[in-house]
Amino acid sequence: MTKGNVIEILKSAASDSLNKYKAEIRGIFGSVARGEESEASDIDVLVDFKEDADLFDFVGLSLFLEEKLHRPVDIVPTDTIKSDIRNIILKEAIYI
């Protein structure tokens, strides 16, 4: 699956992500964003959760996106990125 395919699938999933899982998909980063992924690579997805989101929303979003993308997904809330790598990740990210 190409980077473009991933972005298109995430764009099409944005409404359900927000309405069902209280999460706004921001973009991707990591090996898929850099075009360095392998068959075993997961997809690193940046998200912003609403304040009232809970663990069920987090897990539900992860399962929902894995089903859509047919690949393992690593959900990373932007507000949880450690400061020492935050700038690197946010600069590398491809935003939707």
pLDDT at 7: 97
- CATH number, domain at 76? 3.30.460.10
For the chain, give the mean pLDDT: 96
Confidence of residue 70 (pLDDT cuts 50, 70, 90): very high
Q: What is the pTM of this model?
A: 0.93
Residue 1 has pLDDT above 90, yes or no: no
Tell me how crowded residue 6 is: count the other CB atoms within 10 A of its CB.
Answer: 23
Alpha-carbon dihedral angle through residues 38, 44, 45, 49, given to the nearest 10 degrees:
160
Cα radius of gyration (the chain): 12
Q: What domain count does the chain have?
A: 1
Bridging pattern class, strands 23-29 and 43-49:
antiparallel
The residues that are catalytic are 42, 44
Q: From residue 13, how far is each of 16, 54, 80, 88 by CA, in Å?
A: 6, 19, 22, 26
Q: Provide the residue range defining the domain that includes 17.
A: 3-95
pLDDT band at 35 (very low <50, low <70, confident <90, very high): very high
